[in-house]
Chain A
Amino acid sequence: MAANPMTQFEVYRIGPEIKVGAFDISFTNASLFMVISSLAILIIFNLGSKKNSILPNKIQLLAELSYSFVSKMISDTAGSKAKPYFSFIFSLFMFVLFCNMFGMIPYTFTVTSHIIVTFILAAFIFIGVTVIGFIKHGFGYLKLFVPSGVPIVLLPLIVVIEIISYLSRPISLSVRLFANMMAGHTMMKVFGGFVVSLGIVGGWLPLSFSVALTGLEILVAFLQAYVFAILTCIYLNDALNLHH
């Protein structure tokens, strides 16, 4: 019985082993779903931008609504200076959202339930935001760690706390997404396993739980993608509009 709730997170090779030097870059099920998600995004948005009619059809409406949704999110949180980073945040939001959503289909693999994937994304954002901050403000960016209006006595403590909180950003960002995805999928698997083990008599209760959890997990899949994107916007805002 494949009831182990953790087996769904296992990565296995699809096709031959590919090695570049010492590194194993074989195509795995994780790679497969990254490719599927990216392709799905590209296909949907390509179809949605192909034809321009004054009255958009459904797929065009979807693409344009997503565009204005992300656009509004960025302008609300990071202001107009964040416009050059729109493409990146849009890709990020869509990638995380589609990976999460594809993970909701039974027997699929959830790319974002792996800490290494979310950590690489978060680390890239962290490094990118820090570099942008230093480019825009020079060493003045370090003022981020010195909040204004703090008593001089408390300042050393506050600065240390600020630095720790700044450095923990990639960890919190990546662990939030990874843990949410993993916990949700594990829980669904556990309840699914209960349905099987309790059988036709007692299986109805966990089944109803499972149904409810599916709805919740779809919500979480969207919400975590949104949170991931909006936190990126907030970090970007710190780097662009230094207001501490």
Chain B
Amino acid sequence: MFKNLFLYSLIANFFFTKKIFAAESGGMPQLDPEFWISQIFWLVLTFGVLYIVLSKLILPKISANLELRKSQIQENIEAAEKQRESSEAKLKEFDGIILKSKIEAKNIFKDAREKVIKNINSKKEILDKQIDDEIKKAEVEIDTLRQSASEKISKIAVVTSTEILKKLIGAEVNNSSISAIVDDLVKKNGDKYYGH
């Protein structure tokens, strides 16, 4: 259908233009040489000016811009590459430092522990010695106290017995006989009294 329409239009066009051409003198205005010289002149002028301005002023600038951009991008890429390398090296360095410091920290910890343990041990020894000494001293004191205690008790027993007898009998009893009895008792039952 479109094809038909196109054909009709062409035919119509043909008649149409033919009629108009009949009215005009030349037909196609392109073939009328009246303004050929003018067109050639203006074409040469405008195209010449266009060519000269483009080639001398504008195109070198565009070319320079493109070159500049290219080189700048290249430079930036190179700089980025360099920075990446340096940062990688730094990262490695940091890793090394961290590893080193870890080992150092471990050593310091170990040393400190050993020192502390040593310290504790030595102090413990001193303390032990002091305690032992005190215990010994106390034991000695206890021993002397114990030894003196039996005499004191005997004395007390003699005195109390004398007093009791005095109250009971109402007469003076010889001290020496009572102390003899107490001594005798102590010798017999001393173990019971003092827990020996």
Say yes or no for A129: interface residue by CB 8 A criterion: no
Identify whether the interface residues of B are mostly helix, strand, loop, or mixed. Answer: helix
CA distance A28 to B40 in the complex (A): 12
By a CB distance below 8 angstroms, the chain B residues around A10 are 29
A50→B57 CA distance, assembly (Å): 10
Taking CB atoms, residues of chain A closer than 8 Å to B58 are 42, 45-46, 49
Q: Are B37 and A64 in contact (CB under 8 A)?
A: no
Contacting pair A52 B35 (CB below 8 A): no
Given A6-B28, A49-B65, A114-B30, residue A38 in contact with residue B50 (CB < 8 A)? yes
C-beta contact mask, A19-37 vs B, less than 8 Å → 1, else 0? 0000111111011001101
Report whether B46 and A23 are in contact in the complex, using a CB–CB cutoff of 8 Å. Answer: no
What per-residue 1/0 map shows which CB atoms of B93-128 lie under 8 Å from chain A? 000000000000000000000000000000000000
CB contacts (< 8 Å) of A88 on chain B: these are: 51, 55
A residues 163-210 with Cβ under 8 Å of B? 178, 182, 186, 190-191, 193-194, 205-206, 209
Interface size on A, residues (CB 8 A): 60
B31 at interface by CB-CB < 8 Å:
yes
What per-residue 1/0 map shows which CB atoms of B171-183 lie under 8 Å from chain A? 0000000000000
Interface readout for B31-73 with A: 1 if CB under 8 Å, 0 if not? 1101111111111101101110111011101111110110011
**Contact: A64 with B30, CB < 8 Å?**
no
Binding site for A on B (CB under 8 A): 2, 5, 9, 12-13, 16-17, 20-21, 24, 27-32, 34-44, 46-47, 49-51, 53-55, 57-59, 61-66, 68-69, 72-73
A-B contact pairs, 15 of them (CB 8 A): A4-B20, A28-B38, A34-B46, A35-B46, A38-B49, A46-B58, A49-B62, A50-B61, A64-B66, A67-B59, A116-B39, A116-B40, A190-B16, A194-B12, A205-B5
